[in-house]
């Protein structure tokens, strides 16, 4: 008897990802789809994708999807969720989308304690537009707009948005994960599942930040990209639970 140990999750459509080889978006998409299947919420979930490499997320997630302008995912999700409080609304956003142009919308949705979930892909770059500096780009890291490497005097410092959000009373659960190894990926899935569960339990705002390789713009192989995350990126962005207030609610 053949037992299937691993296969494509149900709510991931049968389409080839447009992502580059080794891109963390693919892994994270799959985890989200698995969680949606396991929690059995596909018919009441609504995804708000970003402008960013994941802009075509609707080609992959087999659920209702409503597009947001660049950076405005949290506001769009707020509108959706307030009208449909018993649906599961989540945004999927990049670091440029959330931590640069969407800073205000993100912080205030979190501060209002909107009962939504955010999957926050931190790949330290503007993937879609071709590798410009992101708020999360590491000091010294090269990008097309920091050809000499990020210089704190000129370009400021990597922004730890999750830590800032953790200060807000409206946020319940914030965890930073990475998708650089099977072990980390399993932890990432657990975090994503917990984040959705918190929304299902109506506790408030939950967020999972995913350290995610962008081999193309980092100009590294996928394998080296994962190593680079483990060795360097986690120094600035340590993985682990940043805030968990779910027990107190």
Ligand X SMILES: Cc1ncc(C[n+]2csc(CCOP(=O)(O)OP(=O)(O)O)c2C)c(N)n1
Positions that interact with its own copies (CB under 8 A): 100-104, 107-108, 111-113, 135, 152-153, 155-160, 163-164, 167-170
| Among the listed residues 150, 149, 147, the one whose alpha carbon sits nearest the alpha carbon of residue 158 | 150
51 binding ligand X? (CB under 6 A): yes
Q: Is the CB of 153 or the CB of 248 nearer to other proteins?
A: 153
204: left (phi over 0), alpha (psi -120 to 50) or beta: left
Q: Is the CB of 77 or the CB of 198 nearer to other proteins?
A: 77
Residues 4-23 that bind ligand X (CB under 6 A): none
Q: Near ligand X by CB under 6 A, which window of 7-15, 27-35, 52-60, 108-116?
A: 52-60
Kindly tell me the burial class for residue 149, based on how many C-beta atoms sit within 10 Å of its own C-beta (0-12, 13-18, 19 or more): middle
Cα separations in angstroms, 29 against 12, 41, 93, 102: 8, 16, 12, 21
Of residues 77, 89, 116, 134, which one binds ligand X by CB under 6 A? 134
Of residues 36, 74, 75, 214, which one binds ligand SF4 by CB under 6 A? 214
20 binding ligand SF4? (CB under 6 A): yes
CA distance 241 to 177: 8
Of residues 34, 95, 114, 155, which one binds ligand X by CB under 6 A? 95
94 binding Mg ion? (CB under 5 A): yes
Q: How near is the Cβ of 166 to ligand SF4 at its closest, in Å?
A: 25
Q: How near is the Cβ of 191 to other proteins at its closest, in Å?
A: 15
Question: Angle 182-200/24-39 helices, nearest 10 degrees?
Answer: 50
Q: How near is the Cβ of 164 to Mg ion at its closest, in Å?
A: 18
CA distance 112 to 173: 14
Of residues 153, 154, 235, 248, which one binds other proteins by CB under 8 A? 154
Looking at residue 7, what DSSP letter applies? -
Residues 53-92 that bind ligand X (CB under 6 A): 53-54, 70
19 binding ligand SF4? (CB under 6 A): yes
Cα separations in angstroms, 179 against 21, 112, 145, 176: 14, 29, 26, 10
Q: How near is the Cβ of 121 to ligand SF4 at its closest, in Å?
A: 8
CB contact set of 195 (below 8 Å; sequence gap of 6+)? 117, 118, 119, 173, 175, 206, 207, 208
Of residues 25, 30, 81, 176, which one binds ligand SF4 by CB under 6 A? 25
156-97-122-167 Cα dihedral, nearest 10 degrees? 70
Q: Which residues are near Mg ion by CB under 5 A? A: 94-95, 123, 127
């Amino acid at each position: 008897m053949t037992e299937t140990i691993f296969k494509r999750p149900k709510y991931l459509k049968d389409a080839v990802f447009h992502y580059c080889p080794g891109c963390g978006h693919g892994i994270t998409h799959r985890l989200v789809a698995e969680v949606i299947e396991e929690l059995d919420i596909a018919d009441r979930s609504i995804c708000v994708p970003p402008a960013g490499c994941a802009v075509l997320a609707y080609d992959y997630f087999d659920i209702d999807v409503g597009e947001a302008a660049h950076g405005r995912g949290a506001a769009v999700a707020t509108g959706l969720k307030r009208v449909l409080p018993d649906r599961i609304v989540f945004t999927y956003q990049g670091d440029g989308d959330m931590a640069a142009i969407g800073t205000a919308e993100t912080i205030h949705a979190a501060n209002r304690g909107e009962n939504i979930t955010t999957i926050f892909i931190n790949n330290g770059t503007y993937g879609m537009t071709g590798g410009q500096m992101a708020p999360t780009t590491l000091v010294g890291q090269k990008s097309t707009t920091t050809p000499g490497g990020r210089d704190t005097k000129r370009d400021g410092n990597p922004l730890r948005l999750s830590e800032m959000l953790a200060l807000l009373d409206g946020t319940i659960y914030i965890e930073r994960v990475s998708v650089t190894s099977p072990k980390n990926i399993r932890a990432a899935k657990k975090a994503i599942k917990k984040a959705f569960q918190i929304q299902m339990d109506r506790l408030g705002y939950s967020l999972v930040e995913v350290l995610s390789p962008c081999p193309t713009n980092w100009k590294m192989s996928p394998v080296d990209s994962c190593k680079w995350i483990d060795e360097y990126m986690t120094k600035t962005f340590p993985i682990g639970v940043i805030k968990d207030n779910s027990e107190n609610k």
